[in-house]
Structure 1
């Protein structure tokens, strides 16, 4: 853990990375939860394979190293045995990950309120009561949103995706964004121009494809295609990890929080964001490139 911050949650432990031997061509997808992780992993899998029909099997082939569901020795052995180019997923901020000078770190962000609403839906789709205390199904008093605003970036809170954890992710990524192998993407930009996202990522990964192949890869990663084939693209799809694989792909849109939060809740969020980020940083975190253009 030298030079790395400790993130130890109820479900995750970033010390597990100590057992992974990093290769210079590894690809890390690093995001707060519900910010486009599975989407970006799928794009990476498509670009690395060049095959729109590739069986992504993300939980096995591109594992979430931090989570303690699987024995780390088994995960490390599986990663070490891979002969193809590897990709891994993490919900740990960059200051808690092993940083290699050559491996690619792809950081994806989303409007924090969209991430919060998506996480609310996600916990209802998990057949285990991991988050019932934080996200009660019947919540007339707005407990979930209060905890979203008040939760800490580390410790038990980290796995429940509070605003502080999202901001920690963003600051850690921005602090390292000057490195040529650390890149920031935004969910809103991905939804506005998926083809441009493919082109940018292809250049970063060194995975060129013909126009015809690229068009087929882009089509495979559209929200409509992924939801229609949820058993292929959802984490552990078809294995009962989720109540509904299709429900994992909730809406694929931005602004899902509009009309769901009270004026008082939005005012509290606005005050917190104004205190934590500059106007320019907030605009990007909430809206990507287009949001920043309006500052």
Structure 2
């Protein structure tokens, strides 16, 4: 494999809140772990699992926003983030909502890409923006949406520019296409939210193997319990990004639900048909089935 680090070989993803050029200031280490996802696809869940595996401590204070920072977002000065990363003596992990074709690729660091049914991710994002005490997305996600603006923009938005931060379907599809194009690399692995939900213990065991981490069986059982949705929701101030700091109206609401099929009975037949048309135009049946339902197709029935 050839290392790709030159920014000219990467796509530019520049949104109102995010800027993937910030990655140019990150000095990648061979054992770094990157969690790369579209929003609301299990990012925090996977980051928490990584933190638990790194520490082997079910009571670890994850502090994801500081210890496993979201590099792309402009909220913190990148020079401060880069200095903090350089000062870390332990194994590091970072988060990105930038597709893989916009990230620096290292031959040895591991990239964990997580996906979820696009409609579940979309409806989870609707809840998410209502939980942020700032009107960042009111234009895309109006609270009183009797005209269906939100879903139209989900289908019509582009994968880049301002639309990037509002997570349209095109951005999710770009994420999947970019990750799949690199999936033959031994250090790029795709996970699915549905598989994590069906078999959390298996997910954690698989990830531990990929990252070369081993813990005794009783410890692994404790880590699995710590990573359950109920435990994370019950301890939301500990597990939510920037938990306890007022970043969200409710930390517990960040973990609204771990269910699938959120869109059922909420979209019109015309809206579902428009979604089907876009998915079928851009994806093979096999890729669509995996992106929507993971490794098991039982949920599609």
**TM-score, with normalisation over the residues of structure 1?**
0.99
Which among 2, 12, 28 is matched to residue 6 of structure 1? 12
Measure how far apart 1:211 and its partner are. Answer: 0.9
Partner of 1:78: 84
Query: Cα deviations across residues 54-96 of structure 1 (Å, max 9, x unaligned)?
Result: 0000000000000000000000000000000000000000000
Which residues in structure 2 correspond to 1:115-154 (within 5 Å)?
115-154=121-160
RMSD: 1.1
Query: Cα deviations across residues 129-156 of structure 1 (Å, max 9, x unaligned)?
Result: 0000000000000000000000000001
Contact kept? 2:293, 2:300, Cα under 8 Å: no
Q: Counterparts of 2:298 and 2:109 in 1: how far apart (Å)?
A: 28
- Are 2:36 and 1:34 equivalent residues in the alignment? no
Partner of 2:4: none
Q: Counterparts of 1:218 and 1:127 in 2: how far apart (Å)?
A: 32
Count residues in correspondence. 295
Partner of 2:188: 182
Contact kept? 1:280, 1:292, Cα under 8 Å: no
Secondary structure at the counterpart of residue 136 of structure 1: coil
Q: Counterparts of 1:253 and 1:195 in 2: how far apart (Å)?
A: 18
Which among 223, 227, 243 is matched to residue 229 of structure 2? 223
Q: Where does structure 2 lack aligned partners over 5 or more consecutive residues?
A: 1-6
Partner of 1:265: 271
Q: Where does structure 1 lack aligned partners over 5 or more consecutive residues?
A: none
Which residues in structure 2 correspond to 1:92-111 (within 5 Å)?
92-111=98-117
Q: Counterparts of 1:42 and 1:262 in 2: how far apart (Å)?
A: 36
Secondary structure at the counterpart of residue 105 of structure 1: strand
TM-aligned CA distance change 1:33 to 1:294, over 3 Å: closer
Partner of 1:233: 239
* 4+ residue segments displaced more than 4 Å: 292-295
Query: Cα deviations across residues 149-190 of structure 1 (Å, max 9, x unaligned)?
Result: 000000010000000000000000000000000000000000
Partner of 1:245: 251
Partner of 2:294: 288
Contact kept? 1:284, 1:292, Cα under 8 Å: no
Which among 38, 43, 48 is matched to residue 54 of structure 2? 48
Contact kept? 2:120, 2:263, Cα under 8 Å: yes
Q: Counterparts of 1:291 and 1:238 in 2: how far apart (Å)?
A: 38
More deviation in 183-192 or 2-11? 2-11
